């Protein structure tokens, strides 16, 4: 009986680690994390509820954290006031979330449109999106092409 209890406890701990349930929530006021500020390569990671695959306990690829999904006004305000997009040193910009930035589970289509509208105003020559391959659709690619061209 004790071995079953230990095994079940270990299974629960492993599931919690894989699903990010053991991680603290990001403070609600922290809209994004920026890595590489002041360099040629910068990554903006927007707060989100986290990767659906990690939250289900069957992916450990990125697992950047846990938080809440943002609304379009928060994203727009952050991108307009943070100064990240106006840095002329940036040659490559990677946009992400706590999992997949093209997944509407994390970044709504309205928020993604606001991100693209702000990106269209900056002069970064190379822009990438960190996402799970299952979230890439013809509709998303058309939206990216339309708003960034």
- Using one digit for the tens of pLDDT, what is the confidence trace for 23-70? 678 899 999 999 999 999 999 999 999 888 777 777 766 667 789 999
Residue 73 binned pLDDT confidence (cut-offs 50, 70, 90): very high
Residue 149: its pLDDT value, please? 87
Please give the average per-residue pLDDT across 135-147, as a whole number.
96
Please give the average per-residue pLDDT across 122-131, as a whole number.
95
Residue 1: its pLDDT value, please? 47
Please give the average per-residue pLDDT across 135-144, as a whole number.
96
Residue 21: its pLDDT value, please? 55
Give CA–CA dist 125/39, Å, rounded.
Answer: 14
Residue 97 has pLDDT above 80, yes or no: yes
Measured CA to CA in angstroms, residue 130 lies from 1, 48, 92, 111 at distances of: 45, 13, 13, 15
Please give the average per-residue pLDDT across 79-84, as a whole number.
96
| 58 vs 73, more confident | 73
Residue 66: its pLDDT value, please? 84
Residue 9 has pLDDT above 70, yes or no: no
Residue 130: its pLDDT value, please? 94
Measured CA to CA in angstroms, residue 106 lies from 3, 8, 47, 96, 101 at distances of: 39, 30, 9, 10, 7
Residue 93: its pLDDT value, please? 98
Contact 50, 87 (CB under 8 A): no
Q: Which residue has the tokens 């079940």?
A: 8
């Amino acid at each position: 009986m004790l071995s079953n209890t230990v095994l079940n406890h270990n299974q629960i701990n492993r599931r919690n680690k894989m699903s990010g349930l053991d991680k603290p929530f990001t403070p609600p006021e922290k809209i994004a994390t920026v890595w590489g500020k002041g360099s040629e390569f910068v990554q903006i990671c927007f707060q989100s509820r986290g990767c659906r695959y990690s939250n289900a306990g069957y992916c450990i690829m990125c697992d950047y954290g846990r938080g809440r999904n943002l609304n379009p006004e928060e994203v727009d305000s952050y991108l307009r006031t943070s100064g990240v997009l106006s840095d002329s040193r940036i040659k490559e910009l990677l946009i992400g979330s706590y999992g997949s930035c093209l997944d509407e589970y994390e970044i709504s289509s309205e928020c993604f449109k606001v991100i693209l509208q702000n990106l269209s105003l900056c002069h970064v020559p190379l822009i990438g999106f960190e996402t799970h391959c299952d979230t890439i659709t013809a509709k998303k690619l058309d939206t990216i092409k339309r708003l960034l061209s």
